[in-house]
Amino acid sequence: MNKRKICVVTGSRAEYGLLCPILIKIQESNKLELQLISTSSHHSTEYGLTYKQIENDGFTIDDKINNLFPSDSNSSIVKSTAKATSLLSDSFDRLEPDIVLLLGDRYETHASATAAMLMNIPIAHIHGGEVTEGAVDEQIRHSITKMSYLHFCSTETYRKRVIQMGEDPARVFYSGAPGIDNIKNLKLLTKNKLEKELNWKLTFKSALFTYHPVTLEESDVEIDLEVILSILETFSFNILFTYANADSGGKVINQKIEEFCKIQPARYKVVKSLGQIKYLSAMKYVDLLIGNTSSGIIEAASFRKPVVNIGDRQKGRLRGENVIDCNLKTLQESIKLALSSSFRNKIKNLNNIYGTGAAADIILDKLINEPISVIKKFRDQL
C-alpha cells in the first residue's frame, strides 16, 4: 500500500511552531509521507531566515519558495501572494501530493489553497471557523475553509461555525489547538538556560510583547506604537519583544521596537524569532503578555498568564478570563490590573478552552483514515 503524501506549506515562524507536533507525527507514521514547503518570511534575512530552524529540527524541506517582496505595502503583499501561487503550482506539479495540509489564515496560506484547489488537490485546514475582526486574516480564513475538504477546529464553537458555512459535519472535526500540544510535549528551558540563550535577564517582574499590524484599520501604526511604547516605559518591569509578522506595516513596528530597545538594553530585549521552545519558555517565566497576537489568546491560558490584548486584531476570537481587552486609552490601567494579585488569583485555576494537547493525534488519525475528494456539496442547515 502506497503511503498517502501529505504536503505541508508554511510561511512564518509562528505557524511553523504550531504545525511542528503534526509534522513530527506525519514523519514518524508508516502510513504517511511528509512533504514540506517553506515560503515567505522563512527566507527573509529581516525575519531571521527561519527555514534554518526547520532544518535544524530535523525536517527536510522539499521546496524553498522565496516569494516575499522587499516592501510590506499592500500592493507588495498582493505581489508576494501572486508569486507564491505561481511557484507553488510548480511545487505541487513535482511533488504530486495527495493532500495539502494548511494552518491558519495568512496570505501565503491562501496562495497555497488557491493553487491546490485549482490543481484538484484536496486540502485539509487547521484553525478554521475562528473570528478576528481587525485583520484581513478573517476573510482569508473563511475563504480557505470553503476551498478545503477536511477541517480541524480548535473549539466546538468553531466546528459549528464551519458547518454553518455549508461544510459537511462528517468532515469537520474538533481537534483542539495544536499549539497546546507543544506546551504538553516540549521540554521547556529552565529560567537560567533561557536567560543564558537570550543573553538577557528576566527581572522580578517581566513581560513578553508581540504586536502585529491591524490590517483592516486605518490608524497610523507608527503613532499607535509610539503611544504603546511610551506607556510601557512608565512601568519598571523588563520586556522581551518579538518581531511583528510580514504583513503591511510590520517593518515599521520592528524598526520602532529596535530603536526603543537600544535606549535601555538591560531592560528591553528584541529577538527576531525566538523559536517555539524559547517562546513558550519565555511565556512560562514572564509575569504577563502584552500585544495582539493569537498566542496570547490560545496558548497563554495553559500557563495561566495574564494577557493584555490591545485593539481589535483578535476581536471575536474566543478567550479565557486571563485576557484583558483594552485600547490605547485603557492600556496603562489594564497592565496594572493584569499585575494585581486579585487578578492573578482569579485565573490561577483556569482551564484552557483550546484543548489539552491531543490535536496532533486527532489530525494524524484523520489524515490516515478519512476518504478524500475534491468534490463537495453545500450542506444547507435546515
Q: How large is the angle between the packed helices 137-147 and 107-118, nearest 10 degrees?
A: 20
Average pLDDT for 257-264: 94
Average pLDDT for 191-213: 93
- Residue-wise pLDDT for 329-376, tens only, equals 999 999 999 999 999 999 999 999 999 999 999 999 999 999 999 999
Examine the domain organization and report whether 337 and 236 are in the same domain: yes
E strand or H helix that includes residue 224:
helix 221-232
Q: Write out the three cell numbers for 55.
A: 532544518
pLDDT band (50, 70, 90) for residue 104: very high
Examine the domain organization and report whether 59 and 118 are in the same domain: yes
Q: Write out the three cell numbers for 305.
A: 498568564
For position 60, which CATH number holds? 3.40.50.2000
| pLDDT(132) > 70 | yes
Average pLDDT for 89-107: 96
Average pLDDT for 7-16: 93
- The pLDDT of residue 218 is 62
Average pLDDT for 228-247: 92
What share of the chain has pLDDT > 70, as a percent?
98
116 vs 136: CA distance, rounded Å = 21
Examine the domain organization and report whether 199 and 337 are in the same domain: yes
pLDDT band (50, 70, 90) for residue 278: very high
- The pLDDT of residue 194 is 96
Helix (H, G, I), strand (E, B) or coil at 75: helix
Nearest partner of 151 among 379, 380, 295, 367, judged by Cα? 367
| pLDDT(247) > 80 | no
Q: Is residue 300 part of a domain?
A: yes
pLDDT band (50, 70, 90) for residue 46: confident
Examine the domain organization and report whether 172 and 60 are in the same domain: yes
Examine the domain organization and report whether 240 and 102 are in the same domain: no
- The pLDDT of residue 216 is 63
* Total domains present in the chain: 2
Nearest partner of 69 among 49, 43, 50, judged by Cα? 43
Q: Could you tell me the CA-to-CA distances from 6 to 34, 92, 114, 128, 354 in Å, in that order?
A: 5, 11, 17, 19, 25
Residue 196 neighbours by CB under 8 Å, 6+ apart: none
Cβ burial, residue 58 (10 Å; 0-12/13-18/19+): exposed
| pLDDT(275) > 90 | no
DSSP state of 333: H
Average pLDDT for 13-29: 94
- The pLDDT of residue 82 is 96
Examine the domain organization and report whether 145 and 220 are in the same domain: no
pLDDT band (50, 70, 90) for residue 48: confident
Q: Is residue 382 part of a domain?
A: no
Identify which has the larger pLDDT, 213 or 225. 225
Q: Is residue 380 part of a domain?
A: no
Q: Could you tell me the CA-to-CA distances from 346 to 208, 298, 335, 337 in Å, in that order?
A: 21, 18, 15, 11
- The pLDDT of residue 382 is 66
Angle (CA) 357-361-365 rounded to 5° is: 155
Strands (E), the chain: 4-10, 32-38, 63-64, 99-103, 123-126, 150-153, 172-174, 206-210, 238-242, 268-271, 288-291, 307-310, 323-326
Examine the domain organization and report whether 143 and 202 are in the same domain: no
Q: Write out the residue range of the structural domain in which residue 167 sits.
A: 4-176+358-369
- Residue-wise pLDDT for 144-188, tens only, equals 999 999 999 999 999 999 999 999 999 999 999 999 999 999 999
Q: What is the mean pLDDT of the chain?
A: 94
